[in-house]
C-alpha cells in the first residue's frame, strides 16, 4: 500500500491548526473550571437548582475542552512520524466531527430551552 506524506508546508499548516486548537482547548477548560467553581461558590445564594445548572454547565464546557484536545496527538503524529499521515488525519477529523456534533446538539438544546422560557414569559 502506498503511503502519503504531507509536505513541509502542509505539516506547517497542520502544526498551526494544532497550536490554535490547543489554545482553544485550554481556554475552554479554564472557562469551564471557572463556571464550575462559580456554581459551587454561589450554590447557597442562588439556590440548589441554579447552582446545579451552573455546575453542570461548567462540566459541559470542560468536557468540550477534552473533546477539542483529542485530535492534538494525531496532528503531532502527522508532523513527527512517517507513513501514517492519512490515517492520523482521518482519526483527527473523526474526533473533530464528534466534537462539533456534540457542540451542535448542546446549542440546539440550549436554544430550545431559551425559546420555551421566552414563550412561558410571554404567555403568563
3-state secondary structure 53-76: HHHHHHHHHHHHHHHHHCCHHHHH
Residue 53: what pLDDT?
87
Kindly give, in sequence order, each residue whose CB lies less than 8 Å from that of residue 13, ignoring residues fewer than 6 positions away.
none
Residue 123: what pLDDT?
86
Grid cell for residue 26: 485550554
Residue 21: what pLDDT?
95
pLDDT digits (tens, 9 = 90+) for 49-76: 888 888 999 999 999 999 999 999 999 9
Q: What is the CA radius of gyration of the chain?
A: 20
Query: Above pLDDT 90, what percent of the chain?
Result: 68
pTM of the shown model? 0.80
Instruction: Give exposure, 91-121, as e/b (b: 16+ Cβ within 10 Å).
Output: bbeebbeebeeeeeeeeeeeeeeeeeeeeee
Amino acid at each position: 500500500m502506498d503511503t502519503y506524506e504531507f509536505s513541509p508546508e502542509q505539516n506547517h499548516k497542520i502544526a498551526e491548526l494544532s497550536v490554535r486548537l490547543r489554545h482553544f482547548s485550554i481556554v475552554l477548560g479554564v472557562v469551564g473550571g471557572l463556571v464550575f467553581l462559580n456554581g459551587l461558590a454561589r450554590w447557597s445564594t442562588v439556590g440548589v437548582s441554579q447552582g446545579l445548572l451552573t455546575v453542570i454547565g461548567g462540566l459541559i464546557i470542560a468536557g468540550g475542552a477534552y473533546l477539542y484536545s483529542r485530535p492534538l496527538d494525531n496532528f503531532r503524529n502527522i508532523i513527527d512520524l512517517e507513513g501514517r499521515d492519512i490515517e492520523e488525519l482521518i482519526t483527527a477529523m473523526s474526533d473533530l466531527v464528534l466534537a462539533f456534533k456534540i457542540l451542535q446538539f448542546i446549542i440546539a438544546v440550549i436554544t430550545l430551552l431559551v425559546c420555551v422560557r421566552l414563550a412561558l414569559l410571554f404567555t403568563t
